Amino acid sequence: MKFSAAPFILLLLCAAASRAADPHAGLFAKDPYPSANQCKKCHEAIYKEWSSSNHAYAAISPVFHKFEQRINDLSQGTVGTFCVRCHIPAGTALGETREQPLWKRARVSREGVTCVACHRVKEEYGRVNGERRIEPGSIHEAVYGNSDGAELLRVLSEKDGWRVKTAPEGPGMPIHAGSVRFETLSKSQFCVSCHQVAVHPGIKLEVVWEQYRASPAAKAGVSCQDCHMGKEPGKAAGYDLQPPAVVDGRPTAERAHHDHSFFGPGYPVAHPGIFPHSGSETSIEDWLSFDWRAGWGTEEFEDKLEAGGPAPAFPPAWAERIDREEARSTVERNLSLLNAKKASRAKVMENGSHLSGPFFFFPPKAGQPLRFHYKVENLNPGHNLPSGSLGAQPEIWLNVALTDPDGTTVWESGYVDSRGDMADLHSLDVAAGKVPHDSQLFNLQTKFLTTNVKGTDREMYLPINFDVDQLPFIRPAGQPVTVLNHPPGIRMEGRSIPPLGSRKADYVVPKRLLKKPGRYRLSARLRSRAEPIYFMAFIGATQETIQGMNEWMLDIHPYAVEFDVR
């Protein structure tokens, strides 16, 4: 049969004619997913909440990029866009390559889980590892939300009074032409596709959904949004009333406000000029050359330079004082937002956990072992403590120290090594004999267990079995994973506490350390960190990001008790 190109050519001519008729078609083709900066014009309060959230951080995170690259290196690229389709959904939809650097990506891609990643989704996807389609369209296309859109319709019916427009032409504030009720957006099921994740060999990296599904919160009808977007961080305490938008200086009618901070324990370690999002036009590459820790742009630093002090070799972008001072104002604003975020993180953890003790087995006596325990409770009815990404992170451990009557610390568990790691099997200082192994460590971090060439199981940073050849490779299972309920040679050792559960932390202080009678002090705190330092070194993280990881960690429920030793 002879092929005729006529229908295909006709199709191309029609498409070209359509583009010619619509002068905005070319622009739309380049920018089918509106940036949060466009939404900010009417939703400034929501934008501010979102700008420092973990969702907004998803694409910026330097630890994510190092981690994702390490996984792709170890798997010889077989992972593909598995990770970035959740962390950079708009960029994935735009067809940006997995390895494309941030400074070459579209602004909306750098915004991670941005507005359209949720409000331009109209289908339920379920447990599909980030497979979620963002509906393309300009800022004027309809958005999807959990309301009936009545307030938007009221504004649209009075467009001239509100000074808005639903098309690119003419004066006025750009606004959506409509709103579609998508009830799934306010249900826990909406969160599943990115917060229940199984990786290549079958290990589950994200297990929040399956924990929630079997939780008391789910049985009571409490949703993820009730705790993570309500008025009280980590608690289902209802919602404040706020206008969702301010249009041309006029607030719309109040309704239940879903806080887009997305309360949680995670935190950013990126350069504070880059994150939180500020709308700055300064390039990422220029920001990375701005030494904010050295004080660039502060009055003290700049005055010393003016007085003839030693000047560093400034990059061209920061050669002028006024540019450094403007950059400094952005950095200070973002550091203020990060400190506010730290307060909400602490609130989440305090609302979701409780530490009590010490409870002594026998009355303390000099020259005898001191036996006691603490009780750690998970007050969260929705998921385990901790939850989220398991295996490599997050960390929650108990740090307890005993001080004798002279004020000397005579015993401690939960201490850290020179890098900041716990003194467990992953500590490089423990391996080198520089720090004693903490045999009584109470650690809620889940671990990967792998079987290697020879020997028994061992804890591993990533769920990878190493073969006898020099090239590590993730081997697919030789039989269905459902037969074993875990991949051969790889499994997870869960240590987290289930919803409303508790666990005891038992300790014994040797009798040789209780030499004298008198008043002793036991100090305790739960410590929370997003990533272990050994893991950050494994993926090649910079010293700057490692420093940030330690700086922004939390101490939860710190307190001390005094008691007498007879």
pLDDT at 220: 97
Q: What is the pTM of this model?
A: 0.87
CA distances from 403 to 410, 437, 562 (A): 6, 20, 9
Residue 314: closest CA among 332, 282, 290: 290
Half-sphere exposure of 358 (CA within 13 A, CB side): 28
Give SS3 for 253: coil
pLDDT at 454: 56
Write down the domain spans for the chain: 23-228, 350-565
Give the strand order in the sheet containing 458-460.
Answer: 458-460, 447-450, 490-493
Q: What is the mean pLDDT of each run of 10 residues along the chain (566 residues)?
A: 42 42 47 92 95 96 92 79 92 92 94 96 81 90 89 88 88 89 92 83 79 95 96 95 92 94 94 93 94 96 92 94 97 96 95 97 94 97 85 84 96 96 93 96 88 67 56 55 56 88 97 94 96 91 94 96 96
- Indicate the length of the chain as a whole number: 566
Residue 450: closest CA among 492, 390, 496: 492
CATH class of 350-565: mainly beta
